[in-house]
Amino acid sequence: MKIGITGATGLIGSALGRLASEKGHEIVGYTRSAKVERPWVKEWRAFGSELDTSGCDALVHLAGESLMGLWTPGKKKKIWESRVDVTRSIVSGLVKAPDRLRVLLCASGAGYYGDRGEEELTEGSARGEGFLSDLCGEWEAAAGRAEASGIRVVNLRTGMVLGADGGGFPMLCRVFSLGLGGRLGNGRQWMPWIHLEDQARLMLTCIENEAARGAVNHVAPVAVTNAGFTDTLAARMKRPAFFHVPAFALRLLMRDMAVEMLLPSQRVKPQAALDLGFTFRHPELDLALRSLLTPSGIV
């Protein structure tokens, strides 16, 4: 298959592109800036509100304004426009294209579910409340408009992706290596997570398997709380984790971002992936951390 990827130079896009290329697929990368060296990208095309997807069988849309940073009104506007509005424009072009895609994978997030306490959440669970829930809901709806033209659509409700070479995990490891790690808030909130290798493998499964459709939770099957994550990472790195950041301090310093990304409890289960017969290579956090940390020389 010929697979187009927006965000092809990012952590997730790069992992998917490498894996798909190894499996014999041809990769088209979309970029706004100068083309970068990625040996697994066969062809580069311009990224914009409309995409040239001629010859492509699949499109994986991952590009968007980073969620990291202070969520000022201006930041929220950029986040919304880069995800919802751009996706609407892309889909509008896809449905008018003379040669239709077979499948569209569009990024979303576990933030769709909001703060749900101890409730086990599957793809059939209701949408939560808040900016992030609304964003994911409208983002998925924008992508879903492609279905009317016969394009299969998969929404990637992704948790925290753990990768050794990018994203937030290396920075988190640096904090813990200094003995400054600790739980956030009361630590009882459930944290959806997934190893980068499983993220890429599950995405490729969603491309190749026509039974994959609609929302698919990209999270590991063994859930952990924030306190559990903290203790496991500290033990694996052989460092103390005594520091505790109170919820009120997070709300004061990071405002809406803390409320919607760091403190909510989301006990998400990858039911759709399990129904597809997908086998996770890193189902448990300790095993995932061992594979990530040992090659890096951190432990």
pLDDT of residue 128: 97
pLDDT > 70: percent of the chain: 98
**Torsion angles phi and psi, residue 156, rounded to 5:** -95, 95
List the chain domain ranges: 2-167+191-221+267-281
- What integer pLDDT is reported at residue 34 of this predicted model? 66
pLDDT classification of 298: cutoffs 50, 70, 90: very low
> How far apart, in whole angstroms, are the C-alpha atoms of residue 139 and residue 108?
7
What integer pLDDT is reported at residue 98 of this predicted model? 86
CA 274 to chain centre: 18
Instruction: Give pLDDT, residue 68.
Output: 87
Backbone angles phi, psi at 275, to 5 degrees: -65, -30
Q: Kindly report, residue by residue over 68-87, the tens digit of the pLDDT.
A: 888 899 999 999 999 999 99
Give CA–CA dist 194/283, Å, rounded: 8
Residue 145 · residue 95 · CB < 8 Å = yes
Q: Which string of DSSP letters, residue by residue, matches 232-296?
A: HHHHHHT----EEE-HHHHHHHHTHHIIIIIS---EE--HHHHHTT---S--SHHHHHHHHHTTT
pLDDT(253) > 80: no
Neighbouring C-beta atoms of residue 279, cutoff 10 Å: 11
Q: How confident is the model at residue 252, as a pLDDT?
A: 76
Q: What is the mean pLDDT of residues 143-154?
A: 96
Q: How confident is the model at residue 281 (pLDDT cuts 50, 70, 90)?
A: very high
Rounded Cα distance between 140 and 109, Å, is 10
- Cα 24 to Cα 3, 17, 27, 105, 196, distances in angstroms: 11, 11, 10, 19, 20
Q: Would you say residue 297 has pLDDT above 50? A: no
Please state the pTM of the whole predicted model.
0.94
Residues in the chain: 299
Residue 149 to residue 151: CA distance in whole angstroms = 6
- Average confidence score pLDDT of the chain: 93
102 is written with which tokens?
Answer: 């077979």
Pick the more confident residue, 195 or 165.
195
- Write out pLDDT tens, residues 3-56: 999 999 999 999 999 999 999 999 999 988 766 788 999 999 999 888 999 999
Instruction: Give residues with Cβ within 8 angstroms of 182, minimum separation 6.
Output: 230, 241, 242, 243, 244, 245
pLDDT of the residue at 244: 86
CATH match of 2-167+191-221+267-281 with 3.90.105.10: no
Q: Among 138, 134, 132, which Cα is nearest to 71's?
A: 132
For residues 198 and 5, what is the distance between their CA atoms, to the nearest angstrom? 18
Find the helix or strand (DSSP H, E) in which 4 lies.
strand 2-6
The token pair that represents 99 in the structure block: 């040669």
The predicted structure's pLDDT at residue 70: 86
**Does the pLDDT value for residue 93 go beyond 50?**
yes
The yes-or-no verdict on residue 206 having pLDDT over 90 is: yes
Does the pLDDT value for residue 273 go beyond 90?
yes
